[in-house]
Amino acid sequence: MDEDDRHDLELHRLVSGRERSAFDELYRRYGRSAYGVALRVTSQDLIAQEVVQDAFLALWRAPEAFDPARGAFRSFFLSLVHHRAVDAVRREERLRRRTERAANLEPATGEDPAEDVVEDAYLRVRRKEVRAALATLPPAQQQVLEMAYFEGKTQMRIAEELGIPIGTVKTRTLAAMRKLREALREE
Amino acid sequence: MTEDHERIDELLAGYVLLSLSGEEATEADRILVDHVPTCATCRATLSQFQAVSGDLALAAPPVHPPETLLPRLHHAMDEVPLAGRTPRRGALIAVAASAVALVAMGGLSLVLGNRLSNAETRTGTALEILSAMRAPGASPVNVSPQDQTPPESGMVEVSAPDFRRLYIAAEFCPEPAPGHAYQLWLGSNGEWTPVGEMFWPDDGVLLLEVEGVDVSRYDEIWITEEAVAQPPTEPSTDGRSWFGSLT
């Protein structure tokens, strides 16, 4: 565990003691990454905001849901945001399909994918590592991972859209996850 | 039981990416409950894939949230009733009733309901409930007030065989007693599994969606009023309650 992970743990401990300043510090550290992934998955400003708000509020309500023995806070929290973003986009998609009206959904206008966003150095470094690891994947593996993770699609739907057997989707997904696991393994 | 670890790894990879559906999602749930907790290799794989999944979020460009988001969050934090609360793992126990599965599901994702839901979201949930009621095999279940529970507070449960989702609706859900919250349970052969603590909506109109639940595994549903100071291990018969048969 490195210094930044330990700092996260300390902030989480303080949040568990209802320290608002620690909560704000976690928001400062992870708000941009959380909003970035929520926006990428949902493509909707308002929904992404609600996803991020829900995730942070869930952390405030029940900080004990994070168990430090099971990994880094960063992974836990960003997984939580991603999970909620996928839930939200699937819910919206079901609603949109049924009502055939998407007019009330504001498109993402405020996306500011500024790579010069001021963020903690360790997140910047980790971000580069993740992108570098993704870049090493064969395009076919990148594609299924992108469709699953950032588009919230099921393996069944990915197979249908790509016109390939679902078994191939599974194989590519597993191969991609194993390669990323090796590339991103932390001591 | 001998398990095919290549197959399990495939399921775990799909599981952490939230990309499983249908029978495979059910199979993953089974693996998470029956096999993973007892297999060190699979526990490690699950943990490692979870870490990858979390880090994949960093591949998206960071974006400044709107300036208004943190103040809104502070306001919402003020509304959350925390006084007298103690940490409640029990309120967050996943249907799978497995610590490993709880982590795999993201833990917090099964807190039931959303105080922040706006009118559009609630309308959307209401429309989904109507749609679910029309789904093949769906049959709304009355979850009836018991004993001293107000008789006008009846609830309806809606689920369908292929949904892996459960809805609960009520026109009037009374506010829980001070220091209490409503807890949703699903029962099978007399064994009760805590699904989660339900938010009480200020207007008493309950429109609840619970994702990832295979209702076909259960034959009864019970909503009970529980003291928030003690994680419930079994349904309480002391306060208000609602009960329904899923069979």
Is A149's CB within 8 Å of B118's CB? Answer: no
Which positions in chain B touch A86 (Cβ < 8 Å)?
A: 18
- Side-chain half-sphere exposure of A153, counting CA atoms within 13 A: 19
Q: What's the predicted TM-score (pTM) here?
A: 0.64
Lowest mean pLDDT among A30-34, A50-54, B24-28, B63-67: B24-28
Residue B122 has pLDDT above 60, yes or no: yes
R_g of chain B computed on alpha carbons: 19
> Residue B62: which of A33, A130, A154 has the nearest Cβ?
A33
In the three-class reduction of DSSP (H, G, I as helix; E, B as strand; rest coil), residue B181 is classed as strand
Instruction: Give the model's pLDDT for residue B86.
Output: 36
How many Å apart are CA B155 and CA B206, to the nearest integer? 9
How many Å apart are CA A20 and CA A8, to the nearest integer? 14
Task: Identify the bridge partners of residue B112 per DSSP, sorted by sequence position.
Answer: B198
Q: How far is A14 from chain B (nearest CA, A)?
A: 14
Select the residue from B8, B53, B63, B199 to test the A interface by mutation, using most A Cβ atoms within 10 A.
B63
pLDDT > 70: what percent of chain A? 85
Give the nearest chain B residue to A68 (CA atoms): B103
How many Å apart are CA B123 and CA B142, to the nearest integer? 21
DSSP 8-state class, residue B112: B
Is A71's CB within 8 Å of B51's CB? Answer: yes
Beta carbons within 10 angstroms of residue B162's beta carbon: 14
How many Å apart are CA A52 and CA B137, to the nearest integer? 35
**Contact (CB, 8 A) for B108 and B87:** no
Mean pLDDT of chain A: 86
Pairing of strands B180-188, B165-170: unpaired
User: A141-153: per-residue pLDDT in tens?
Assistant: 999 999 999 999 9
**Contact (CB, 8 A) for A15 and A22:** yes
Instruction: Give the model's pLDDT for residue B108.
Output: 31
Which positions in chain A touch B46 (Cβ < 8 Å)?
A: none
- Side-chain half-sphere exposure of A73, counting CA atoms within 13 A: 22
Lowest mean pLDDT among B72-86, B135-149, B165-179: B72-86
Which positions in chain A touch B37 (Cβ < 8 Å)?
A: none
**B110 confidence band (pLDDT: 50, 70, 90):** very low
> Residue A80: which of B16, B72, B108 has the nearest Cβ?
B108
**B219 confidence band (pLDDT: 50, 70, 90):** confident
Lowest mean pLDDT among A35-49, A111-125, B194-208, B233-247: A111-125
> Residue A177: which of B52, B64, B89 has the nearest Cβ?
B52
How many Å apart are CA B62 and CA B119, to the nearest integer? 29
Which positions in chain A touch B51 (Cβ < 8 Å)?
A: 71-72, 75, 181, 184, 186
How many Å apart are CA B215 and CA B140, to the nearest integer? 12
Lowest mean pLDDT among A81-90, B52-61, B231-240: B231-240
Instruction: Give the model's pLDDT for residue A175.
Output: 97
Give the nearest chain A residue to B117 (CA atoms): A50
CA dist list (Å): B94 to A31, A110, A145, B78, B155: 26, 36, 26, 27, 22
**What is the average per-residue pLDDT within B68-91?**
63
Residue B93 has pLDDT above 80, yes or no: no
**What is the average per-residue pLDDT within A96-105?**
49
Residue B85 has pLDDT above 70, yes or no: no
Instruction: Give the model's pLDDT for residue A39.
Output: 94
- Side-chain half-sphere exposure of A63, counting CA atoms within 13 A: 22
Is A83's CB within 8 Å of B61's CB? Answer: no
How many Å apart are CA B31 and CA B11, to the nearest integer? 9
User: Which is more confident, A107 or A167?
Assistant: A167
Q: How far is B123 from chain A (nearest CA, A)?
A: 10
How many Å apart are CA B175 and CA B199, to the nearest integer? 10
**What is the average per-residue pLDDT within B219-230?**
83
Q: How far is A36 from chain B (nearest CA, A)?
A: 5
Which positions in chain A touch B60 (Cβ < 8 Å)?
A: 33, 36-37, 39-41, 150
R_g of chain A computed on alpha carbons: 18
With a CB cutoff of 8 Å and minimum separation 6, the contacts of A96 are A102, A105
- Predicted ipTM? 0.88
How many Å apart are CA B40 and CA B67, to the nearest integer? 45
- The crossing angle, in degrees rounded to 10, of helices A166-184 and B40-56 is 90
CA dist list (Å): B88 to A15, A73, B78, B125, B226: 15, 19, 19, 27, 12
User: A18-76: per-residue pLDDT in tens?
Assistant: 999 999 999 999 999 999 999 999 998 999 999 999 899 889 888 888 888 888 999 99
pLDDT > 90: what percent of chain B? 23
Is A87's CB within 8 Å of B211's CB? Answer: yes
Is A63's CB within 8 Å of B73's CB? Answer: no
Residue A79 has pLDDT above 90, yes or no: yes
Instruction: Give the model's pLDDT for residue B181.
Output: 84
Q: How many residues does chain A have?
A: 187
Kind plus residue range of the DSSP H or E element containing B185: strand B180-188
Instruction: Give the model's pLDDT for residue B120.
Output: 58
Which positions in chain B touch A131 (Cβ < 8 Å)?
A: 58-59
**What is the average per-residue pLDDT within B88-92?**
33
